A and B are shown apart, each in its own frame.
Chain A
Protein backbone atom coordinates (compact mmCIF):
# COMPACT_ATOMS: atom_id res chain seq x y z
CA UNK A 1 0.00 0.00 0.00
CA UNK A 2 1.14 3.54 -0.75
CA UNK A 3 0.05 6.77 0.88
CA UNK A 4 -1.18 8.01 -2.48
CA UNK A 5 -3.68 5.11 -2.49
CA UNK A 6 -5.76 6.80 0.19
CA UNK A 7 -4.53 10.38 0.73
CA UNK A 8 -6.97 12.68 -1.05
CA UNK A 9 -4.75 15.11 -2.93
CA UNK A 10 -7.30 17.90 -3.23
CA UNK A 11 -8.07 17.76 0.51
CA UNK A 12 -4.47 18.28 1.72
CA UNK A 13 -4.18 21.24 4.10
CA UNK A 14 -0.71 22.80 3.68
CA UNK A 15 -1.19 25.29 6.49
CA UNK A 16 -3.51 24.35 9.33
CA UNK A 17 -4.96 27.32 11.20
CA UNK A 18 -6.09 25.35 14.24
CA UNK A 19 -4.17 25.65 17.47
CA UNK A 20 -5.67 22.74 19.40
CA UNK A 21 -6.50 19.06 18.93
CA UNK A 22 -10.21 19.47 18.23
CA UNK A 23 -9.52 22.30 15.79
CA UNK A 24 -7.01 20.25 13.79
CA UNK A 25 -9.35 17.26 13.57
CA UNK A 26 -12.23 19.52 12.52
CA UNK A 27 -10.15 21.32 9.88
CA UNK A 28 -8.91 18.06 8.33
CA UNK A 29 -12.33 16.39 8.31
CA UNK A 30 -14.06 19.46 6.90
CA UNK A 31 -11.50 19.45 4.10
CA UNK A 32 -12.27 15.80 3.29
CA UNK A 33 -15.98 16.65 3.39
CA UNK A 34 -15.59 19.65 1.03
CA UNK A 35 -13.80 17.32 -1.37
CA UNK A 36 -16.73 14.93 -1.54
CA UNK A 37 -15.24 12.09 0.51
CA UNK A 38 -18.30 11.59 2.70
CA UNK A 39 -21.70 10.93 1.18
CA UNK A 40 -24.84 11.21 3.29
CA UNK A 41 -22.74 11.60 6.42
CA UNK A 42 -22.86 14.37 9.00
CA UNK A 43 -19.28 15.57 9.34
CA UNK A 44 -19.98 16.53 12.96
CA UNK A 45 -20.63 12.87 13.67
CA UNK A 46 -17.24 11.83 12.28
CA UNK A 47 -15.53 14.63 14.23
CA UNK A 48 -17.14 13.24 17.39
CA UNK A 49 -15.97 9.72 16.53
CA UNK A 50 -12.34 10.80 15.98
CA UNK A 51 -12.36 12.86 19.20
CA UNK A 52 -13.83 9.89 21.07
CA UNK A 53 -10.97 7.75 19.81
CA UNK A 54 -8.47 10.38 21.00
CA UNK A 55 -9.95 10.14 24.50
CA UNK A 56 -8.77 6.52 24.62
CA UNK A 57 -5.18 7.63 24.05
CA UNK A 58 -3.49 10.17 21.86
CA UNK A 59 -2.60 9.19 18.32
CA UNK A 60 0.44 11.45 18.55
CA UNK A 61 3.19 8.86 18.06
CA UNK A 62 6.11 11.19 18.74
CA UNK A 63 8.67 13.07 16.64
CA UNK A 64 6.09 15.73 15.72
CA UNK A 65 3.74 13.26 14.02
CA UNK A 66 0.13 12.27 14.74
CA UNK A 67 -2.20 9.86 12.95
CA UNK A 68 -5.71 10.63 14.23
CA UNK A 69 -8.07 7.93 12.99
CA UNK A 70 -11.24 5.99 13.46
CA UNK A 71 -13.32 3.35 11.80
CA UNK A 72 -16.64 4.76 10.73
CA UNK A 73 -19.74 2.93 9.54
CA UNK A 74 -20.74 5.69 7.11
CA UNK A 75 -17.74 5.26 4.80
CA UNK A 76 -17.18 2.45 2.31
CA UNK A 77 -13.53 3.05 1.50
CA UNK A 78 -10.38 4.14 3.26
CA UNK A 79 -9.67 7.89 2.99
CA UNK A 80 -6.93 10.03 4.45
CA UNK A 81 -5.74 13.60 4.50
CA UNK A 82 -2.39 15.20 5.22
CA UNK A 83 -2.11 18.50 7.08
CA UNK A 84 0.81 20.59 8.28
CA UNK A 85 0.77 22.90 11.26
CA UNK A 86 3.57 25.47 10.83
CA UNK A 87 3.70 26.32 14.53
CA UNK A 88 2.86 22.90 15.98
CA UNK A 89 -0.09 21.81 18.10
CA UNK A 90 -0.11 20.22 21.53
CA UNK A 91 -1.65 16.80 20.90
CA UNK A 92 -0.87 14.83 24.05
CA UNK A 93 1.84 12.91 22.17
CA UNK A 94 3.86 10.17 23.82
CA UNK A 95 7.00 12.32 23.85
CA UNK A 96 5.17 15.45 25.05
CA UNK A 97 6.30 17.39 21.98
CA UNK A 98 4.02 19.42 19.69
CA UNK A 99 2.80 17.89 16.43
CA UNK A 100 3.57 19.45 13.04
CA UNK A 101 2.60 16.68 10.62
CA UNK A 102 -0.90 15.14 10.73
CA UNK A 103 -2.29 12.28 8.70
CA UNK A 104 -5.96 11.67 9.49
CA UNK A 105 -7.43 8.33 8.42
CA UNK A 106 -11.05 7.17 8.26
CA UNK A 107 -11.69 3.50 7.48
CA UNK A 108 -14.77 1.34 6.98
CA UNK A 109 -15.56 -0.72 10.08
CA UNK A 110 -15.37 -4.06 8.30
CA UNK A 111 -11.80 -3.75 6.98
CA UNK A 112 -9.52 -3.94 10.04
CA UNK A 113 -6.51 -5.21 8.08
CA UNK A 114 -6.75 -2.39 5.53
CA UNK A 115 -6.87 0.02 8.47
CA UNK A 116 -3.75 -1.54 10.05
CA UNK A 117 -1.93 -1.44 6.72
CA UNK A 118 -2.79 2.24 6.28
CA UNK A 119 -1.36 3.09 9.71
CA UNK A 120 1.71 0.99 8.93
CA UNK A 121 2.19 2.75 5.59
CA UNK A 122 1.97 6.23 7.11
CA UNK A 123 4.38 5.29 9.91
CA UNK A 124 6.87 3.71 7.49
CA UNK A 125 6.92 6.78 5.26
CA UNK A 126 7.05 9.33 8.08
CA UNK A 127 9.89 7.55 9.88
CA UNK A 128 12.11 9.26 7.38
CA UNK A 129 13.36 12.48 9.02
CA UNK A 130 14.42 14.17 5.76
CA UNK A 131 10.91 13.61 4.39
CA UNK A 132 9.28 15.13 7.47
CA UNK A 133 11.58 18.16 7.16
CA UNK A 134 10.77 18.41 3.44
CA UNK A 135 7.03 18.19 4.10
CA UNK A 136 7.25 20.98 6.66
CA UNK A 137 9.00 23.16 4.09
CA UNK A 138 6.23 22.73 1.47
CA UNK A 139 3.79 25.58 0.94
CA UNK A 140 1.17 24.04 -1.35
CA UNK A 141 -0.97 20.91 -1.40
CA UNK A 142 0.59 19.84 -4.70
CA UNK A 143 4.12 20.13 -3.33
CA UNK A 144 3.12 18.08 -0.29
CA UNK A 145 1.51 15.36 -2.40
CA UNK A 146 4.50 15.14 -4.75
CA UNK A 147 6.98 15.05 -1.88
CA UNK A 148 5.01 12.39 -0.03
CA UNK A 149 4.55 10.36 -3.19
CA UNK A 150 8.23 10.43 -4.06
CA UNK A 151 9.16 8.91 -0.68
CA UNK A 152 6.14 6.64 -0.61
CA UNK A 153 7.39 4.88 -3.77
CA UNK A 154 10.75 4.05 -2.27
Chain B
Protein backbone atom coordinates (compact mmCIF):
# COMPACT_ATOMS: atom_id res chain seq x y z
CA UNK B 1 0.00 0.00 0.00
CA UNK B 2 2.97 2.36 -0.44
CA UNK B 3 2.58 5.54 -2.45
CA UNK B 4 6.19 6.64 -2.04
CA UNK B 5 5.18 10.20 -1.20
CA UNK B 6 6.72 10.59 2.26
CA UNK B 7 4.75 13.78 2.68
CA UNK B 8 3.54 15.19 5.94
CA UNK B 9 -0.18 15.54 5.43
CA UNK B 10 -2.55 17.33 7.77
CA UNK B 11 -6.30 17.53 7.87
CA UNK B 12 -8.69 19.07 10.35
CA UNK B 13 -11.66 16.74 10.82
CA UNK B 14 -14.94 17.53 12.52
CA UNK B 15 -16.41 14.75 14.68
CA UNK B 16 -19.95 14.13 13.43
CA UNK B 17 -20.89 11.23 15.64
CA UNK B 18 -23.52 12.31 18.24
CA UNK B 19 -21.66 10.15 20.78
CA UNK B 20 -18.39 11.91 19.98
CA UNK B 21 -15.13 10.10 19.23
CA UNK B 22 -16.00 7.19 21.49
CA UNK B 23 -14.36 3.86 22.16
CA UNK B 24 -15.54 1.89 19.11
CA UNK B 25 -14.43 4.42 16.49
CA UNK B 26 -11.20 4.77 18.46
CA UNK B 27 -10.61 1.02 18.20
CA UNK B 28 -11.44 1.16 14.47
CA UNK B 29 -9.05 4.10 14.07
CA UNK B 30 -6.17 2.33 15.84
CA UNK B 31 -6.77 -0.80 13.79
CA UNK B 32 -6.80 1.17 10.53
CA UNK B 33 -3.79 3.32 11.50
CA UNK B 34 -1.79 0.23 12.40
CA UNK B 35 -2.19 -1.09 8.85
CA UNK B 36 -0.10 1.80 7.51
CA UNK B 37 3.63 2.32 7.73
CA UNK B 38 3.14 6.07 8.19
CA UNK B 39 3.31 7.77 11.55
CA UNK B 40 -0.18 8.83 12.62
CA UNK B 41 -0.86 11.60 15.08
CA UNK B 42 -4.02 13.24 16.34
CA UNK B 43 -4.06 16.66 17.93
CA UNK B 44 -6.94 17.62 20.20
CA UNK B 45 -7.13 20.61 22.53
CA UNK B 46 -3.45 21.34 21.89
CA UNK B 47 -2.24 17.88 22.86
CA UNK B 48 -0.71 15.41 20.43
CA UNK B 49 -1.57 11.70 20.60
CA UNK B 50 -0.12 8.64 18.90
CA UNK B 51 -2.85 7.42 16.54
CA UNK B 52 -1.67 3.83 16.77
CA UNK B 53 -2.09 3.59 20.54
CA UNK B 54 -5.51 2.82 22.01
CA UNK B 55 -4.36 3.99 25.41
CA UNK B 56 -3.40 7.39 24.00
CA UNK B 57 -6.59 7.78 21.99
CA UNK B 58 -8.63 7.04 25.11
CA UNK B 59 -7.43 10.47 26.28
CA UNK B 60 -9.14 12.19 23.35
CA UNK B 61 -12.59 13.06 24.72
CA UNK B 62 -13.69 14.88 21.56
CA UNK B 63 -17.45 15.37 21.49
CA UNK B 64 -19.80 15.92 18.55
CA UNK B 65 -18.83 18.92 16.39
CA UNK B 66 -15.40 19.25 17.95
CA UNK B 67 -12.36 19.23 15.71
CA UNK B 68 -9.27 17.07 15.74
CA UNK B 69 -6.20 17.46 13.54
CA UNK B 70 -5.07 14.32 11.78
CA UNK B 71 -1.42 14.23 10.78
CA UNK B 72 0.26 11.45 8.80
CA UNK B 73 3.84 11.10 7.65
CA UNK B 74 5.45 8.25 5.80
CA UNK B 75 5.62 6.20 2.64
CA UNK B 76 1.86 5.62 2.48
CA UNK B 77 0.66 8.94 3.90
CA UNK B 78 -1.84 9.72 1.12
CA UNK B 79 -3.67 6.43 1.49
CA UNK B 80 -3.50 6.63 5.26
CA UNK B 81 -4.99 10.14 5.32
CA UNK B 82 -7.84 9.11 3.04
CA UNK B 83 -8.70 6.02 5.08
CA UNK B 84 -8.32 7.55 8.54
CA UNK B 85 -10.29 10.67 7.69
CA UNK B 86 -13.19 8.40 6.78
CA UNK B 87 -13.02 6.61 10.13
CA UNK B 88 -12.96 9.90 12.03
CA UNK B 89 -15.81 11.47 10.11
CA UNK B 90 -18.10 8.46 10.38
CA UNK B 91 -21.53 9.02 11.86
CA UNK B 92 -23.07 6.41 14.09
CA UNK B 93 -26.31 7.12 15.80
CA UNK B 94 -26.51 3.99 17.95
CA UNK B 95 -26.84 4.56 21.67
CA UNK B 96 -24.32 1.85 22.47
CA UNK B 97 -20.76 3.05 22.29
CB pair B58–A115 under 8 Å, yes or no, is no
**A75 proximal to B (CB < 8 A):** no
CB pair B59–A124 under 8 Å, yes or no, is yes
Binary contact track A52-67/B, C-beta < 8 Å → 1, others 0: 1100110101110001
Q: How far is the CA of A109 from the CA of B62 in the complex (A)?
A: 17
* CB-contacts of A101-135 with B (<8 A): 109, 112-113, 115-117, 119-120, 123-124, 127
* CB-contacts of B66-86 with A (<8 A): none
Interface bin, chain B: 20 to 34
Given contacts A61-B58, A62-B54, A123-B58, 11 further A-B contacts (CB under 8 A): A52-B96, A59-B23, A61-B54, A67-B58, A94-B27, A113-B20, A113-B61, A115-B97, A116-B21, A119-B22, A119-B23
CB pair A112–B58 under 8 Å, yes or no, is no
Q: How far is the CA of A66 from the CA of B19 in the complex (A)?
A: 20
CB proximity of B52 to chain A, nearest CB, Å: 12
